[in-house]
Amino acid sequence: MAWIYLILGGLFEMGWALGLKLSETMQVKVWGILLAIVSMALSMFLLYIAQRSIPIGTAYVVWTGIGAVGTLLVGIFLFGDSAGFWRLFSAGLIVIGVIGLKIAH
């Protein structure tokens, strides 16, 4: 169950970055900021629960890895960010590292 909490926390980690981006583009900035605050709180709470069972080093790397790669993909698909080879290759290395930590756990 801890791994499910950790994955959900990583997904909410993406939410705060998305909320901040949306607050730049929305007419009513408050909605983006609220999304960021709620996502950040849920993300940290879920990391807190997950790290009770998963070593904190592993939990933190997986949590930030999901947030980083997920936010990169959101930027590419929703905001037209660059999808160059080196960006995707580097993101793939992060994913491989996260998988390796899960296997080693």
Task: Say if residue 41's pLDDT is above 90.
Answer: yes
> Which pLDDT does position 36 carry in this prediction?
95
**Both structure tokens of 62:** 């997986």
Mean pLDDT over 13-36 rounds to 90
Report how far residue 51's alpha carbon sits from residue 55's, in angstroms, rounded to the nearest whole number. Answer: 6
Task: Say if residue 105's pLDDT is above 80.
Answer: no
Provide the pLDDT confidence category of residue 61 given band limits of 50, 70 and 90.
Answer: very high
> Which pLDDT does position 25 carry in this prediction?
81
- The three-state secondary structure class of 46 is helix
Mean pLDDT over 50-66 rounds to 95
Provide the whole-model pTM.
0.87
Enter the DSSP assignment of 53.
T
Alpha helix stretches (DSSP H) within 1-105: 2-25, 29-50, 56-79, 85-104
**Both structure tokens of 101:** 């930590």
